[in-house]
């Protein structure tokens, strides 16, 4: 299924969990967890306070070589927003993509998504561990802090 077909399918519109697709167009589902939602919201709020000249989004749908993936949060420049705002699934990743680890996924899965986001054009990918610790990456590897969002906390508690 394409992402537009997923969005248009009336049976998939009110699901109580998040869905993505894989490279074969199959739907992959993840059950929600409140800790995950609290962390996602906290990161969103911090990005809104710290970043200027762009938009912050939760549940950002991105086309990757392994299907449509949904970043928990993202930041995109105004230029990215203007060029891509009408797409139901971004054909290129926003500048910052954030994943929040929850009990239903592994660090291996999140590291695979990190690589997919970089291949799709992200400049930084952040992962929040369940402990609250933030991991920052650019295409060359781990960073001590974010280069695009100086001063973003090294831990995000809920």
Which tokens sit at 57? 């989004």
pLDDT of residue 132: 97
Instruction: Report pLDDT for 12.
Output: 65
Does 58 reside within a domain?
yes
Residue 9 forms part of a structural domain: no
Residue among 109, 91, 84, 89 nearest 99 (CA): 109
The phi and psi torsions of 38 (rounded to 5 degrees) equal -65, -45
> What is the pLDDT tens value at each position of the chain, 158 positions in all?
676 776 577 766 676 666 656 777 776 766 667 788 899 999 999 999 999 999 999 999 999 999 999 999 999 999 999 999 999 999 999 999 999 998 878 999 999 999 999 999 999 999 999 999 999 999 999 999 999 999 999 999 98
- Residue 64, in any domain of the structure: yes
- 8 falls within a domain: no
> What does the alpha-carbon distance between residue 115 and residue 149 come to, in Å, rounded to a whole number?
20
Structural domain boundaries, residue 96: 31-143
Does 153 reside within a domain? no
pLDDT at 15: 63
Please indicate, yes or no, if residue 48 is contained in any of the structural domains: yes
Residue 138: what pLDDT?
A: 98
Going from the C-alpha of 138 to that of each of 54, 112, 123, 131, 146, the distances in angstroms are 19, 14, 6, 22, 9
The structure's pTM equals 0.86
Residue 150 lies in a domain: no
Number of domain units in the chain: 1
7 within some domain: no
Q: Give the pLDDT score at 69.
A: 93
CATH number at residue 105: 3.90.1570.10
């Amino acid at each position: 299924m394409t992402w537009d077909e997923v969005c248009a399918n009336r049976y998939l519109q009110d699901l109580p969990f998040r869905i993505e697709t894989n490279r074969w167009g199959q739907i992959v589902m993840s059950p929600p967890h409140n800790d995950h939602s609290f962390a996602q919201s906290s990161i969103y709020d911090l990005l809104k306070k710290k970043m200027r000249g762009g938009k912050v989004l939760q549940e950002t749908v991105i086309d990757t070589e392994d299907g449509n993936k949904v970043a928990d949060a993202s930041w995109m420049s105004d230029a990215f927003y203007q060029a891509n705002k009408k797409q139901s699934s971004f054909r290129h990743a926003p500048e910052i993509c954030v994943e929040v680890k929850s009990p239903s996924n592994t660090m291996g899965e999140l590291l695979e998504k990190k690589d997919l986001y970089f291949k799709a054009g992200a400049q930084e990918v952040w992962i929040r561990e369940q402990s609250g610790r933030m991991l920052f990456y650019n295409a060359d590897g781990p960073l001590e802090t974010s280069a695009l969002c100086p001063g973003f906390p090294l831990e995000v508690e809920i």
